[in-house]
């Protein structure tokens, strides 16, 4: 039986609750089971390295992170960027912030939407009230109301994007254009007490998806991430603390382990979610046939996304979620079959994320 990631003390949501509690004295979710995992500080710099799961720390290029590893947490389900970043932005589990998939069924639109790019499965833009998508107040608004300034340091090209408008309502957006700019901007922002500075680093995830885990491109991406970490740590001003984590890990799949879902028999099913956690609506017998082809299990997704699910979260979830074996990626029509690495499931490689302290 599928086991839910932790939301009660060993999850990404609990890291965010711990940080929020220390900054303003309250938080809507459970704090860390082991609070000593992170240090105290007047200003917190939190670096989210997209795709840097615990499994990726075994790579030789990740050695600079080793001395800073303070603990291991679990990403929320589904283990994918838009879901985890929504947890960061709200301090809530998916059951309460309502972002429950990479490819998500949005009931009021009547379609499946890519929640990173805000396009439908044909690639067409999906106009939406992006800034109103997340619960009110989000983390940034709670901090600001308590006198803490939230700032996010991101690649400049992300400013004003649909995803940024979904996630960063209430936060100051600081766009950067290269590694040196990112480090310098972060250090300067951290010099003022009473801030939470969130830094987002996308390169490891991109390299893994496109090139796989064994090539030069992935090594270079890890080296870049490590240089950012070391650069901030060296120059961090007094009173500020540096914490690092990730949104999920990465798992690589050979072409022979990518199972494409095709054929008229399956056309009556609606597919959403992720290759490693395929959300399904439709005839249960047809779902069972798909399960026989892929292996794994069919689970009730409501049991995996956290406590106290809202009506909105329920409305976006499949009737069942197909969780394939750890070595299989399932690719219905509209899912990206070109990638080398995937995530979104419940294997240790996807779920386990580090807590780093600089």
pLDDT band at 263 (very low <50, low <70, confident <90, very high): confident
Residue 284 pLDDT exceeds 90: yes
The dihedral over CA atoms of 96, 348, 249, 98, expressed in degrees to the nearest 10, equals -10
Q: Within this chain, do residues 153 and 288 fall inside the same structural domain, yes or no?
A: no
Q: Within this chain, do residues 292 and 173 fall inside the same structural domain, yes or no?
A: no
Q: How far apart are CA 199 and CA 194, in angstroms?
A: 16
Residue 144: half-sphere exposure toward Cβ, Cα within 13 Å: 14
Please give the pLDDT value at position 1.
Answer: 81
Residue 2 lies in a domain: no
Candidates 206, 204, 229; CA nearest to 219 is 204
pLDDT tens-place string over residues 51-81: 999 999 999 999 999 999 999 999 999 999 9
What percent of the chain clears pLDDT 90, i.e. is strictly above it?
Answer: 96
Instruction: Give me the helices (H) in 63-215, please.
Output: 63-66, 81-90, 94-97, 139-145, 162-167, 179-190, 203-211
Residue 136 lies in a domain: yes
Q: Tell me the CATH number at 192.
A: 3.40.720.10
What is the average per-residue pLDDT within 108-124?
A: 94
Residue 1 lies in a domain: no
What percent of the chain clears pLDDT 70, i.e. is strictly above it?
Answer: 100
Residue 137 pLDDT exceeds 90: yes
What is the average per-residue pLDDT within 199-218?
A: 98
Residue 210 CB partners (closer than 8 Å, separation 6+): 217, 339, 340
Q: Within this chain, do residues 157 and 260 fall inside the same structural domain, yes or no?
A: no
Q: Within this chain, do residues 164 and 312 fall inside the same structural domain, yes or no?
A: no
pLDDT tens-place string over residues 31-55: 999 999 999 999 999 999 999 999 9
Residue 6 lies in a domain: no
Map tokens 């997340």 to a residue. 134
What domain range includes position 90?
Answer: 12-100+112-251+346-357
CB 57 within 8 A of CB 354: yes
- What secondary structure letter does DSSP report for 264? G
3-state percent breakdown (helix, strand, coil) of the chain, nearest 5: 35, 25, 40
Count of structural domains, the chain: 2
Q: How far apart are CA 320 and CA 300, in angstroms?
A: 5
Residue 107 lies in a domain: no
Residue 298 lies in a domain: yes
Q: Within this chain, do residues 224 and 195 fall inside the same structural domain, yes or no?
A: yes
Residue 251 pLDDT exceeds 90: yes
Beta strand 149-155 with 172-176 is: parallel
The verdict on pTM exceeding 0.75 is yes
Q: Within this chain, do residues 149 and 84 fall inside the same structural domain, yes or no?
A: yes
Arithmetic mean of pLDDT over the chain: 97
Please give the pLDDT value at position 300.
Answer: 98
Label residue 308 exposed, middle or buried (CB < 10 Å: 0-12, 13-18, 19+). exposed
Q: Tell me the CATH number at 301.
A: 3.30.1360.180
Tell me the three state secondary structure of residue 252. Answer: strand
Question: Omega of the bond prior to 177 within 30 degrees of 0, cis?
Answer: no
CB 69 within 8 A of CB 45: no
pLDDT tens-place string over residues 289-306: 999 999 999 999 999 999
């Amino acid at each position: 039986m599928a086991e839910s990631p932790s939301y009660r003390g060993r999850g990404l949501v609990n890291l965010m609750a711990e940080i929020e509690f220390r900054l303003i004295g309250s938080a809507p979710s459970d704090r860390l089971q082991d609070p000593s995992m992170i240090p105290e500080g007047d200003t917190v710099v939190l670096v989210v390295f997209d795709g840097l799961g615990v499994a990726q720390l075994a790579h030789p290029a990740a050695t600079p992170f080793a001395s800073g590893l303070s603990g291991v947490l679990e990403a929320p389900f589904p283990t994918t960027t838009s879901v985890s970043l929504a947890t960061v932005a709200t301090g809530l589990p998916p059951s309460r912030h309502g972002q429950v998939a990479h490819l998500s069924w949005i009931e009021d639109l009547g379609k499946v939407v890519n929640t990173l790019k805000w396009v439908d499965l044909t690639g067409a833009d999906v106009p939406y009230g992006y800034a109103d998508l997340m619960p009110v107040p989000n983390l940034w608004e709670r901090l600001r109301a308590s006198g803490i300034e939230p700032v996010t340091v991101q690649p400049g090209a992300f400013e004003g994007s649909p995803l940024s408008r979904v996630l960063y309502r209430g936060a100051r957006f600081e766009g950067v254009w290269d590694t040196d700019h990112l480090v310098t901007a972060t250090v300067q922002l951290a010099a003022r007490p009473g801030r939470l500075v969130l830094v987002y680093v996308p390169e490891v995830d991109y390299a893994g998806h496109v090139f796989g885990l064994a090539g030069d491109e992935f090594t270079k991406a890890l080296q870049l991430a490590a240089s950012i970490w070391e650069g901030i740590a060296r120059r961090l001003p007094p009173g500020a603390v540096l914490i690092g984590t990730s949104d999920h890990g990465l798992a690589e799949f050979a072409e022979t382990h990518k199972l494409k879902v095709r054929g008229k028999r399956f056309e009556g099913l609606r597919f959403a979610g992720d290759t490693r956690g395929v959300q399904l609506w439709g005839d249960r017998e047809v779902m069972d046939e798909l399960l026989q082809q892929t292996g794994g299990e069919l689970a009730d997704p409501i049991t995996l996304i956290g406590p106290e699910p809202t009506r909105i979260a329920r409305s976006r979830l499949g009737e069942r979620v197909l969780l394939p074996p750890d070595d299989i990626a399932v690719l219905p029509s509209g899912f990206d079959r070109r990638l080398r690495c995937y995530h979104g499931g419940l294997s240790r490689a996807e779920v386990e994320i580090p807590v780093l302290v600089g």
